[in-house]
Amino acid sequence: MLNVTSNPTASSVRDFKLGALSFPERVIYWTIVLTPLWWLSGLQTLLYPTILVGLLVITFDLNKLIRTSLPASVWAWLAMALVMAWTAIIGLGSTGFEFQKIAAFVVTFVKSYFLIFTCLSLPFWNQIRVRVVTRAVAWMTTGYLVTIAIELAMLFVKIGGSGFIPPLARLLPGDKLSLKVTFAAFQNFFGIPLPRTVLYTPDPPIVGVCTILCFFICLGETDRRLRRWALAGCLVSLLISQSRLAWVTFPIVLLIMACFRSRWARQGSLWGASFTSLVCALLGLTLSQLIAKPMEIFNGARAESSKDRELVVRKTLEAWQESPWLGWGIIRGSVKWYTYDIALGSFSTYASVLYLHGIVGFVVFVAALALTLWNFWGPAVRGNPLCKRAFASLVALYVLCNATPLTWMTVYFWFFFVWLGAILSEIQPPDGSITSWEQLAGDTEARKNFYQIVDENRW
């Protein structure tokens, strides 16, 4: 008979309590839970990087750096941050080192790739447990329901208007767009005005990304009642975000996660390909024609938005071809659309990386994405439930990056990378190599069965 109390991880699965938190855990926990407060204050885009980089500086220990071996994926994100700095310096040098441009770059640097590196590395140098991050995110996403209910009530009684810029945000230099507090509004979807909200972000598609990532994090919440409310908050916010790409991506990544649990996954892919070929044959269509019709419907849901994105991405790639190897470093152009300008690189992350950092930066960026995904692949295949969710959520993020720049989104789901770093830290043995969770747990058959039962209950 399995003695559950002999395993501290297993003993806390059914009856989890936060208990004594380390200083970094306490800071991260309350920073996540109090997200609505930071949103209303207008400080969140600068507050999160300040807190996390501050934690990295305060808790930095040279001995820990020497003793701890970080995965290659973490160093790859640092390399991407350095490439970003290098190309930006070249770009600033060609246009003149103006204080405003330098300040804008420093803020972007700290809240993008360097922030990802910071979040991934913090759990390796401090006690930051996966369950602490999970509990905090569960409470935050449960709060989505309250925020959405309040915003919808305000919308129907016509309170709030177009939002406001918080007084504290007015004191900060630079563009105030990302600091503005905006409430729900009616927007056309297939010609029908429906309520849409940005929640704690400046753009509805970012809400779609955040809620999908939060969904996979909250699947690991051990309090069953809290988990249900948290998942409900994720699904409601995903629905009201009206993010078309997020809606399409969500069931796909759920299927990917389910494939880790099914021995019929390979056969299923063959049957799926055969069924697609059969449909094409019966309808007399090629595969491209079969895909074209759903894409036409997809773009027709919000036609003007689709045209915006297509135009900006096309112009961004055209501009990249003028400086293919190192890119432009900083944004130098925009696209005129009706009465307003849209900056180049505003949508697709991949087009933006090519435009700003060239082929060199793109290679480093893809390497960072691939190495991060690879770190979770092996443990996921071997049965680690956390790594299954991490792998699926990363696939979702990579797909959704095609619609919104990662450098703009990262600050709104920074906790996701802390969660990934905590998982990597927990599955990494003292010698620094990523191993399977079964080996880490003692490689006993009883413990494998126990975690399999827990994983099934969570679904």
Containing structural domain, residue 253 = 19-265+348-458
Q: What is the pLDDT of residues 430-442, one digit of tens each?
A: 544 444 434 444 3
Considering its fold, how many domains does the chain have in total? 1
- Cα separation values, 371 from 164, 360, 367, 391, Å: 41, 17, 6, 11
Query: What confidence category does residue 16 fall into, taking pLDDT thresholds of 50, 70 and 90?
Result: low
- Residue 370 pLDDT: 94
- Residue 186 pLDDT: 81
- Residue 173 pLDDT: 60
Higher local confidence (pLDDT), 174 or 301 = 174
Q: What percent of the chain has pLDDT over 90?
A: 44
- Residues 285 and 247: their CA atoms lie apart, in Å, by 26
Whether pLDDT at 119 is above 80: yes
How much is the average pLDDT of 7-34? 71
* Max CA pair span of the chain: 71
- Residue 28 pLDDT: 96
Q: What is the pLDDT of residues 257-297, one digit of tens each?
A: 888 776 555 455 545 554 555 555 555 544 454 445 555 44
Higher local confidence (pLDDT), 331 or 268 = 331
- Cα separation values, 383 from 257, 377, 380, Å: 11, 10, 5
How much is the average pLDDT of 346-351? 88
Q: Which amino acid is at 130?
A: V
| Range with the poorest average pLDDT among 61-70, 271-280, 385-394, 412-421 | 271-280
- Residue 303 pLDDT: 47
- Residues 97 and 106: their CA atoms lie apart, in Å, by 12
Positive/negative CA dihedral, 323, 327, 328, 334: positive
| DSSP string over 265-331 | HHHHHHHHHHHHHHHHHHHT--HHHHHHHHHHHHHHTTHHHHHHHHHHHHHHHHHHTTSTTT--SS-
The backbone torsions φ and ψ at residue 185, rounded to the nearest 5 degrees and listed phi first, read: -150, 160
| DSSP string over 17-85 | ---SPPHHHHHHHHHHHTHHHHHHHT-HHHHHHHHHHHHHHHT--HHHHHH----HHHHHHHHHHHHHH
Whether pLDDT at 171 is above 90: no
Q: What percent of the chain has pLDDT over 70?
A: 76
Higher local confidence (pLDDT), 319 or 333 = 319
- Residues 12 and 20: their CA atoms lie apart, in Å, by 14
- Residues 101 and 271: their CA atoms lie apart, in Å, by 54
Query: What confidence category does residue 214 fall into, taking pLDDT thresholds of 50, 70 and 90?
Result: very high
177 burial class (0-12, 13-18, 19+ CB within 10 angstroms)? exposed
- Residue 320 lies inside a defined structural domain of this protein: no
| Range with the poorest average pLDDT among 114-128, 226-240, 254-268, 370-384 | 254-268
> What is the SS3 assignment for 243?
coil
How many CB atoms within 10 Å of residue 430? Answer: 8
- Residue 306 lies inside a defined structural domain of this protein: no
Query: What confidence category does residue 314 fall into, taking pLDDT thresholds of 50, 70 and 90?
Result: confident
- Residue 204 pLDDT: 85
Q: Which of 316, 326, 393 is nearest to 350 (CA)?
A: 316
How much is the average pLDDT of 37-48? 90
- Residue 324 lies inside a defined structural domain of this protein: no
Query: What confidence category does residue 42 fall into, taking pLDDT thresholds of 50, 70 and 90?
Result: confident
CA angle 411, 416, 419 (to 5 degrees): 135
Mean of per-residue pLDDT scores for the chain: 80
Q: What is the pLDDT of residues 88-102, one digit of tens each?
A: 999 988 877 787 888
Contact predicate 362/374, CB 8 Å: no
- Predicted model pTM: 0.84
Which residues on adjacent β-strands are paired with residue 337? Answer: 340
Query: What confidence category does residue 374 fall into, taking pLDDT thresholds of 50, 70 and 90?
Result: very high
Q: How many CA atoms lie within 13 A of 61 on its CB side?
A: 9
- Residues 353 and 404: their CA atoms lie apart, in Å, by 12
Which residues on adjacent β-strands are paired with residue 181? Answer: 164
The backbone torsions φ and ψ at residue 389, rounded to the nearest 5 degrees and listed phi first, read: -70, -40
Would you state the structure tokens that stand for residue 111, as one six-digit string? 């809240």
Query: What confidence category does residue 191 fall into, taking pLDDT thresholds of 50, 70 and 90?
Result: low
* Residues 6 or more apart whose Cβ sits within 8 Å of residue 91: 327, 328, 329, 330, 332, 356
Q: What is the pLDDT of residues 223-253, one digit of tens each?
A: 999 999 999 999 999 999 888 889 988 998 8
